[in-house]
Amino acid sequence: MRLPNPTKYIPNTLTLVNLFLGCLSIVASFEGNLLLAGYLILFAAVFDFLDGFAARLLKAYSSIGKDLDSLSDLVSFGVAPSVIVFHLLKDALALAPEQGFSNGNVILAIPFLIAVFSALRLAKFNVDTRQTSSFIGLPTPANAMFIAGLVFGLSSSHAGWFEPLLASPVAIIAMVLVLSALLVLPIPMFSLKVKKGDSVKGLWKQILLVAISVVAIFLMGFASVVVIILGYVLLSIIDNVFAAFRK
């Protein structure tokens, strides 16, 4: 009997690690450790990258792998960041630990719009053949890392930049609505993948984002994630404007 090639299970195993870390992030949030929850989302994003890289390297593609990836991403980059924002909003509202959604604070349901629109984003991605080398709408891992970056910022020496935003329930709700919209709006966003034949001129946005990232990481550490994701969104919008003028 021919034994199955064990390497074909590597991508799905990495995907399941992503899911496992997302679950732990949710637990950490409900235990009051938002910083750990943010780090676990960041580590989940690393494994999300590695599973795709391993699948391409080993040519271990499968339909179950594609579905498993989306299910894992929904937990790690949809539900987990929603729970973080839930706690940030609860703190901004100055609610006691025993007060919550079940006590009539229905406003605390708003953060979970991120999970809802992440699910829609992932479902659209699975059936949209246009998103093989770029994205349409903000990728769910980028959205989740932005939220994790807010927690990192609160715990950094740059906390003064983040506290005014996260102390305001109105600002947090507005952020949720903007991020939810960015997930599903038909805005083309570039990928960091480099294809054979790409010119340096055509990669200007990727190169600029890497430069911004290096400087931001040097100056801000993990809190730089917020700046990097904002830079990614702005560069994508600028690229779309340039493309419109060229047409």
Give pLDDT tens digits for 26-84. 999 999 999 999 999 999 999 999 988 887 777 767 778 788 999 999 999 999 999 99
Query: What residues does 189 pair with on adjacent strands?
Result: 135
In which element (H, E) is residue 166 found?
A: helix 159-166
Provide mean pLDDT across the span 98-127: 91
Q: Nearest to residue 174, comparing CAs of 110, 96, 102?
A: 110
Give 6: exposed, middle or buried? Use CB within 10 Å, 0-12, 13-18, 19+: exposed
Higher pLDDT, 23 or 190: 23
What pLDDT shows up at residue 132? 63
Q: Tell me: pLDDT of 3 over 60.
A: no
Provide mean pLDDT across the span 14-22: 96
Task: Identify the three-state secondary structure at position 135.
Answer: strand
Q: Backbone phi, then psi, for 191, in 5-degree steps?
A: -105, 155
- Interhelix angle 159-166/169-184, rounded to 10 degrees, is 90
Over the chain, what is the mean pLDDT? 89
Under the banding of pLDDT at 50, 70 and 90, the label for residue 144 is very high
| Stated pTM of the model | 0.91
What pLDDT shows up at residue 2? 58
Q: Tell me: pLDDT of 4 over 80.
A: no
Percent of the chain at pLDDT > 70 equals 91
Provide mean pLDDT across the span 155-171: 92
Q: Nearest to residue 56, comparing CAs of 189, 193, 188?
A: 193
Higher pLDDT, 16 or 128: 16
**Amino acid at site 184:** V
Q: Nearest to residue 19, comparing CAs of 35, 38, 43?
A: 43
Question: CATH homologous superfamily of domain 6-189?
Answer: CDP-alcohol phosphotransferase transmembrane (TM) domain (1.20.120.1760)
In which element (H, E) is residue 191 found?
A: none
Q: Tell me: pLDDT of 107 over 90.
A: yes
**Contact predicate 165/171, CB 8 Å:** yes
In angstroms, rounded to a whole number, what is the distance separating the alpha carbons of residues 103 and 233?
37
Higher pLDDT, 6 or 169: 169
Q: What dihedral angle (degrees, nearest 10) is formed by the CA atoms of 50, 52, 57, 62?
A: 130
